Amino acid sequence: MDGIEIGIIGAGDMGLLYARKFSGAGFKVNICDRPEEFENLKQKISQMSNPNNLICPLEDGYAVSRRSDYIIYSVEAYNISAVVKLYGKATKMGAIVGGQTSVKRPEIEAFNKYLYDDVNIVSIHSLHGPRSDTKGQTLAVIRVRASDEKFQLAINILKCLESEMLFIGAEEHDKITANTQAATHICYLSLGTAWKSQGYYPWENPMFSHNIDNVKISIALHIYGSKSHVYSGKVLFYNI
């Protein structure tokens, strides 16, 4: 896989996590954020462990798309269509494109609408947050359209994440995510809202002293401690 370059459009927490993992495996990584964040991105990269300067911050998605062999859109689900519309036509001929959104339907619709037919689509979803290492975690891999050669190339690249790959269709992925994540998150967000409305911390209330209550509190705090777009996208597209 000599000469293969990875592109990441979106330099949020997950985008930066992927940049570290791919560069650590010896791949050159081209990464961008919004153009107005370019100087901030360069500063972030300069502060990261970047052996051999393999992580290359670029000004925008055009620069990333035209030179990268596997391009991953790491943007919010509600924003994916606009970003693919903006940068998709710049995709390198014959490249592989995927996304990291938690809801695949709008992502794949955008890819099919805005990408040229010669572009291969192999999408992914890491079923964990950016504070977790990718090793041993579940990675959903969705083959939308790709030649056998390009699909195998994508798999070989993704192996460096050391995740457990789950090969699944987009529709099945979204159904499982809705049942196991979106509905669960709504439940725990409701608990947090109730505690706030009652004006107390649950760990200070003797009503919540059981071990199972500690689990509920921990999960609720974990969800509230994460970035809101992670959950708002799921609610928006699953109509919960």
Q: Name the residue ranges covered by the structural domains of the chain.
A: 5-168, 173-237
Instruction: Tell me the pLDDT band of 193, cut-offs 50, 70 and 90.
Output: confident
Structure confidence by residue, pLDDT tens digits, 106-164: 999 999 999 999 999 999 999 888 888 999 999 999 999 999 999 999 999 999 999 99
Task: Please determine, for residue 215, whether its predicted confidence score (pLDDT) is greater than 50.
Answer: yes
Query: Three-state secondary structure along 139-195?
Result: EEEEEEECCHHHHHHHHHHHHHHCCEEEECCHHHHHHHHHHHHHHHHHHHHHHHHHH
Q: Does domain 5-168 have CATH number 3.40.50.620?
A: no
- Tell me what the mean pLDDT of segment 209-230 comes to: 72
What pLDDT, on a 0 to 100 scale, did the predictor assign at position 213? Answer: 77
Task: Please determine, for residue 239, whether its predicted confidence score (pLDDT) is greater than 70.
Answer: no
* CB 57, CB 8: distance < 8 Å: no
169 token code pair: 């269709």
What is d(CA 159, CA 13) in angstroms, rounded to the nearest whole number?
Answer: 20
Cα angle, residue 62 at apex, residues 47 and 113 outer, rounded to 5°: 125
Instruction: Tell me the pLDDT band of 230, cut-offs 50, 70 and 90.
Output: low
- Tell me what the mean pLDDT of segment 186-200 comes to: 80
Task: Please determine, for residue 46, whether its predicted confidence score (pLDDT) is greater than 80.
Answer: yes
Instruction: Tell me the pLDDT band of 211, cut-offs 50, 70 and 90.
Output: confident
Structure confidence by residue, pLDDT tens digits, 170-187: 999 888 877 666 666 677
* CB 60, CB 37: distance < 8 Å: no
What pLDDT, on a 0 to 100 scale, did the predictor assign at position 129? Answer: 80
Instruction: Tell me the pLDDT band of 102, cut-offs 50, 70 and 90.
Output: confident
- What DSSP element (H or E) covers 57? strand 55-57
What pLDDT, on a 0 to 100 scale, did the predictor assign at position 236? Answer: 47
